[in-house]
Amino acid sequence: MPNLDIAAMVQAFAVGVIPVLFAITLHEVAHGWAARAFGDRTAEMLGRLSLNPIRHIDPVGTVVVPILVFVLSGFSFLFGWAKPVPVNPRGLKRPKQDMVAVAAAGPAANVIMGVFWAFIVVMASGSAAAGNTVGVFLTEMGKIGVFFNAILAVFNLIPLPPLDGGRVLRGLVPESIGRRLDAIEPFGLIIIVLLLSLGLIWPLMGPMIRSLQLLMYTLAGAGGA
């Protein structure tokens, strides 16, 4: 446990909370938007297409986990997730095919948000270099937004259910393989936690996260940050 520095904690939390909160919120809302576009209005009827983060708070993923990760990382990192948006495959026009697009919508939203935050970095970096307090704040916030959205996009595309990548894979493979993926899904999170604890995921994800960050900055008009 790092030594508690309240001032550093408040400063780091203030910089990171907005990009992290909206990254996990818009990720889930994007699933709902895509589902509605393909015929399923479940999320809309339950009021889950709102951009109000309060409607998507998960007590564990949005509150407990981010605080624990934030403190244990020495106030340098935030990670969490929102309450999943409900999707009824039977409400989709073509359930198997449409679920691919619905699942992919979340990571796609994170990529778009990452480009937005990279643009903020590009726009604010000049004033930050001149010592402007607002410029420094926006630059640091933007960098966190790029980093966190890259993590969410890459992590969720791991081809293991119940992650988005697993649902995309489920819609692309033959039904015989799909049923095997369905059997794995109840144990998916346990498998992921085990792989994380053994250090087997981050060495693979790290280069992809860095490459995606570079792409975000490039699309925003910069070569890096």
d(CA 145, CA 139): 10
Q: Is 53 helix (H, G, I), strand (E, B) or coil?
A: helix
d(CA 68, CA 74): 10
Active site residues per annotation? 28
And the tokens for 114? 């990452």
HSE-up of residue 185 (Cα within 13 Å, Cβ side) = 16
d(CA 206, CA 57): 27
Burial status of residue 71 (CB atoms within 10 A of its CB: 0-12, 13-18, 19 or more): middle
DSSP per residue, 26-57:
HHHHHHHHHHHHTT--HHHHTTTT---GGGG-
